[in-house]
Structure 1
Amino acid sequence: MENKILGIHHITAIAGDAKRNFDFYSKVLGLRFIKKTVNFDDPGTYHFYFGDEVGSAGTILTFFPWGAGLQQGRKGSGMATEIGYSVPQGSLEFWIERFEKYNVIYNKPSVKFGERYLTFLDPDGLKLELIESKTPDNRKAWETDEVKADVATKGFHNITLTLKNIKPTAAILTEIFGYQLMEQEVNRYRYATSEVEGAAIVDLVELPDEKHGHVANGSVHHVAFRVPNDEVLMHFREKIENYGLSITPQIDRQYFHSLYFREPGGVLFEIATDNPGFTVDETLENLGKGLKLPPRYESIREDIEANLVKIN
């Protein structure tokens, strides 16, 4: 496990209305709301975290809800275009019924790589999939009154990147991250790591003539990959720098430590640590209940709270 990428750590996307985003993911999808904080670079806006009970790596979906009037993103090349969640076998019918109830836009189930999946859009147009994984997923699901464990999401199954040419990105996955090409269907190439069972897959879709996408409302902002600690994090910093790519210094994100770089296909990648975790400033029972701020913003807490919309 040493000096290895351990699959996906988290995925961060952009949303518009904060209350609508909170309601959709915590109520309709039934994810646990594990952290309410602010964008550390823009404390006038929220940063939401959704995941399993403890905010395990591989389950964490985060959002910058930047408010009304935000320009709509455009799906295209050079971006992450689909977020896949693992769900139990036979659960898609439950989700179709639920999406009908809550007026969620979805497509009828289909199959790729031998797995049934259901595509749907969140209220901002972000494209997601629920996938009945063909390999057992033993991760413990978070339950709500309406979404029980036998149908609930287990965490990420995969992320899909759309690219004009997959080769430079595939080289990052294989030569630096230790992923392997597992399967191919037409122009979709499935890469995975054997280091973890869940959140282990990256799909690369090659579309040479696709226009470059625009990251804005309803788009994935970046994809974060997981390492266990700071030592391994800095090992990868050196490795990526030696590969010839620009990468940031280590950044303290309060709940993990991060590096950022843009892979050759244009997608913003992050590498994030497991430490220190989401209980560093809240107990497990109280995750997501209070507005948590980094120490540098505590002196202006009243001003920040006055400008943020109430969500719960």
Structure 2
Amino acid sequence: MELKGIHHLSAITANAKENLDFYTKVLGLRLVKKTVNQDDTSVYHLFYGDERGNPGTELTFFEIPMAAPNKPGTSSISATSLRVPNNEALQYWKQRLDDHGVQHEEIAYRAGRSTLAFTDFEGQRLILVSDENNEGVEGGRPWERASVPQKYGVTGLGPIRLTVRKAESTVHVLTEVMGFRKKSTYPSHEDGQPDIIVFETGKGGSGAEVHIEERPDLPFERQGRGGVHHVAFRVEDRAALDEWIQHITNAGLPNSGFVERYYFKSLYFREPNGILFEIATDGPGFDGDEDINHLGESLALPPYLENKREQIEASLKPLNYKPEQL
């Protein structure tokens, strides 16, 4: 049993329209699915990714309109990385972020790679990571109709940083239960703080890393808009997921059991510091209920919600997404 890498990451926004504009028009991601939160169908769940929304490229957002601002702290997913092809792409992105008035840091070296940290309009903490010399999990292919030239486009999710009060317990679950391997360490950007520890799974590389930052000095994070809800890791199919469900249960970790999400199948559980993990299958994918050329243009609902379509659509504000306007 081995996890293949990062599957997707789900964050929180208070404004689906502004979120859509930022992630498609500024970051050049493709909206691959406009659907609803299956646990609260009154709000949007937006999925962004590469040209098909391949596993490992999906950044998703739950819209919670009244969400207060996120209060950073421990027991959190404190940074989300996005892979770009090379160092040249980082130079392009630095200028693009300036052109769009996006706050960012300078290009810096983290864990052996050139990176560029920035925040979105709600304070979502993001880091562009160069794949200049990456070996490991393959990236995706940016959409050719995106607002960013394909040669500079985001190719998927990169390392995910977890900030915790006690690293030991999270490390135990990552290595002894989930099969991650310790790879390296690198200095924290915060003076006097312990080095950040890098773990990898599967083929390794930027698409299969979790970085652990121990910060006992911080308060617990209060999740809100600009925060991250959970991170998901990849398995091949339902048979592999069933093995993981049994494995996680045998390890004594309370979990959701099997959950049907239609576009993939899942298991949810929390690691000891309270961060929500998901294990998700690579398929079926996002083109089973929409033509590949028109992903995200209409409200998509899994079959078990279709009988509530009229009620669901009445509760949502139209987004009027038109890819040709990117």
TM-score w.r.t. the length of structure 1 is 0.94
Q: Give the alignment of 1:211-250 within 5 angstroms.
A: 211-250=219-258
* Partner residue in 1 for 2:157: 156
Residues 121-172 of structure 1 show CA distances to partners (whole Å, capped at 9, x for unaligned) of 1111110000113533753233345411221111011100001111111122
Q: Give the alignment of 1:41-190 within 5 angstroms.
A: 41-67=39-65, 69-89=66-86, 90-136=88-134, 139=139, 140-144=141-145, 146-186=147-187, 187-190=195-198
Over 4 Å off, 4+ runs: none
* Partner residue in 1 for 2:191: none
Residues 95-142 of structure 1 show CA distances to partners (whole Å, capped at 9, x for unaligned) of 122112221111111111231111111111110000113533753233
Greater mean deviation of Cα atoms: 190-199 or 3-12: 190-199
Aligned residue for 2:232, secondary structure, equals strand
Aligned residue for 1:131, secondary structure, equals strand
Q: How far apart, in 2, do the equivalents of 1:277 and 1:146 lie?
A: 23
Pairwise CA distance, 1:196: 5.3
Q: How far apart, in 1, do the equivalents of 2:281 and 2:40 lie?
A: 22
Q: How far apart, in 1, do the equivalents of 2:299 and 2:292 lie?
A: 15
Aligned residues: CA RMSD? 1.5
**2:21 alignment partner, one of 20, 23, 32:** 23
Residues 237-258 of structure 1 show CA distances to partners (whole Å, capped at 9, x for unaligned) of 1111111110112010010111
Q: How far apart, in 2, do the equivalents of 1:178 and 1:195 lie?
A: 12
Q: How far apart, in 2, do the equivalents of 1:237 and 1:78 lie?
A: 23
> How many positions carry a matched residue from both structures?
309
Q: How far apart, in 1, do the equivalents of 2:124 and 2:221 lie?
A: 13
Q: How far apart, in 2, do the equivalents of 1:209 and 1:197 lie?
A: 30
Pairwise CA distance, 1:275: 2.2
Q: How far apart, in 1, do the equivalents of 2:200 and 2:144 lie?
A: 28
Cα contact 2:2–2:202 (8 A) shared by 1: no
Cα contact 1:30–1:143 (8 A) shared by 2: no
Pairwise CA distance, 1:198: 5.1
Structure 2, unaligned stretches of length 5 or more? 188-194, 322-326
Q: Give the AA of the match of 1:235.
A: E
Aligned residue for 1:85, secondary structure, equals strand
Cα contact 1:58–1:198 (8 A) shared by 2: no
Aligned residue for 2:199, secondary structure, equals strand
Aligned residue for 1:254, secondary structure, equals coil
Pairwise CA distance, 1:82: 0.3
TM-score w.r.t. the length of structure 2 is 0.91
Aligned residue for 1:302, secondary structure, equals helix
Q: How far apart, in 1, do the equivalents of 2:132 and 2:270 lie?
A: 32
Identity percentage of aligned residues: 39
